Amino acid sequence: MIKHRTRFQILYDSCLAMIAFISFLIVAASFFSKSISLKNTTILNLMHVFLIIYAVDFFARMPKNKNAHRYLFDNTFDLLSLIPLHPAFAIFRIGRVFKLIRSHHLLWRFGLDGKFSKTVHRFIYTSGFLNLFTVSMIILVLSSLLYSVVEHISYPSALWWAITTATTVGYGDISPTTNIGKFIAAFLMIGGVGFIGLLTSTITGFFTSEAATQEDDMTKLFKKIDQLDHKIDHLQRQLNLERRKNTRKK
């Protein structure tokens, strides 16, 4: 019974991950290819079907978790992908693919769980990167969503404005014209820049600590090599003494 349930769970998660990957490919292709448009009727209907499937899955899993706040935070990307205002939000479903890999230990099952994957896992889940990245994405998505409604521009353009503003690049090609838009921009400048800065410092700090750890490991390795050299020299001297004693006896 347990094996059957496990197989069903793997199959279920795999199907949702496949839908997530297809959604991600469609959205990504729409950005890079003019022949694929999210306004196409067939593609739009397909994305609506995927949206309904994901919405049912998201709210069906919620009662199984005792801590609702933790559930919402852990499934932030799934929640963002349910925003129906623009199909581009489906790009956040790619998080379901990584969740499938992690929850079912697929890297370990396929023999790919090496030093690199452990470093990536430690970087994402131990360094605090995932929490900061999630909060940053929430700020960017909500700010751009409100900005697109208030300033009456397309959501992709609003998201581009939010990213350039939060990263302090500020090309100036898009700027707020209404008082509410300026308020949203001020909020993004204060909150978004702060979290983006923390995110950047977290990435830098992790790789700096990794480099320091590797340097310490190399130092320890060199010390061990020196100790082995000393032991070999000591053994060589003892062998030479034994040979001399044997030669004198002869």
pTM: 0.59
- Whether residue 2 has pLDDT greater than 60: no
Report the top-level CATH class of 5-108. Answer: mainly alpha
Query: Does 5-108 match 113-236 in CATH topology?
Result: no
What local confidence, expressed as pLDDT, does residue 199 receive? 76
- Whether residue 16 has pLDDT greater than 80: yes
For 229, phi then psi, to 5°, come to: -60, -45
Confidence of residue 1 (pLDDT cuts 50, 70, 90): very low
Where are the domains positioned within the chain? 5-108, 113-236
What local confidence, expressed as pLDDT, does residue 59 receive? 87
Instruction: Give me Rg for the CA atoms of the chain.
Output: 28
The CATH code belonging to domain 113-236 is 1.10.287.70
Instruction: Look over the chain and give the mean of its residue pLDDT values, rounded to a whole number.
Output: 77
**The token pair that represents 219 in the structure block:** 């130092």
74-126 pLDDT per residue, tens: 777 788 788 776 677 777 787 777 777 777 666 566 655 656 566 666 666 66
- Whether residue 47 has pLDDT greater than 70: yes
